[in-house]
Structure 1
Amino acid sequence: MSALDHVAISTADYPTSLAFYEKALAPLGIKTHMKFEGEEGNVAGLGSEQPFLWIGDGGKLTGGRVHLAFSAPNRAAVDAFYAAAIAAGGKDNGPPGLRPHYHATYYAAFVYDPDGHNIEAVCHAPE
């Protein structure tokens, strides 16, 4: 069996990005589990029960961006993610709402993080 274990992204401004992710993902039950200084600089591991999202120094990506989608337990959590992400400095890329072109109950919100990555919270369940 093969499954995704974790994702790591570089940031241009580690303290700003860490603060953004800690605030934006808190409504989804995701928090920082560990921080350390590695060979390439500062690193933080975020997750629910264990780290699955790693952010660190390394500079802004050039020539593209990352799209990360986080599962939300309900639509209220999607709404809370969006509000927290905007309050933490994220930029709107699609407010909470249904996206029926994906499927009838696809409820999501999208924001750009401080490095321009597209961050999404999604709930697939009906209201």
Structure 2
Amino acid sequence: MIDHVGLQVSGYERSREFYRKVLATLGGELVMEVTAEQTGDGSHAGFGMKGRPTFWIGTSSQAPHPTGAVHVAFAAPNRGAVMAFHRAALEAGAKDNGAPGLRPHYHPHYYGAFVLDPDGHNIEAVCHTPV
């Protein structure tokens, strides 16, 4: 249902490197960048899998500062990837917002981890499988 999602960030290079490190643990990569010269406004980085950007970060003179925290949950292939995501995020400068673990109040196999990115967005990795 969702084709892609984007977040406004206050520090483009800092956030690009943060997401490059963190999303690699889930199989994601930087797929493309669009420069301020190309857009006539801000810079943007698109992350995804198989060459398709589905998660974007960027800056804009129209919205020079993020207007509020956003929650984004990334699918993880297994619980080990959730743990790797959390560890990589903390090493890249994120703040812990919920260590890896089961969240049975969502459903019995919901295994997630939450961090706050450099702009305070609540970023999650989640696995829905039993192991």
Q: 1:56 aligns with which of 55, 58, 67?
A: 58
**Alpha-carbon displacement from aligned partner over 1:30-82 (angstroms, at most 9, x marks no partner):** 100111212222111100121001111133323x2110000000000000000
> 1:60 & 1:79 partners in 2: Cα distance?
30
> 2:105 & 2:40 partners in 1: Cα distance?
44
- TM superposition score normalised by structure 1: 0.94
Unmatched segments (≥5 aa) in structure 2: none
SS for the counterpart of 1:5 is coil
1:110 and 2:93 aligned: no
**Alpha-carbon displacement from aligned partner over 1:6-27 (angstroms, at most 9, x marks no partner):** 0111110000100110001101
Unmatched segments (≥5 aa) in structure 1: none
Partner of 1:7: 5
The runs of 4+ residues in structure 1 deviating greater than 3 Å are none
SS for the counterpart of 1:35 is strand
Question: What is the count of residue pairs matched by the alignment?
Answer: 124
What is the alpha-carbon root mean square deviation over aligned residues?
0.9
- TM superposition score normalised by structure 2: 0.91
Partner of 1:42: 43
Partner of 1:66: 70
> 1:76 & 1:60 partners in 2: Cα distance?
34
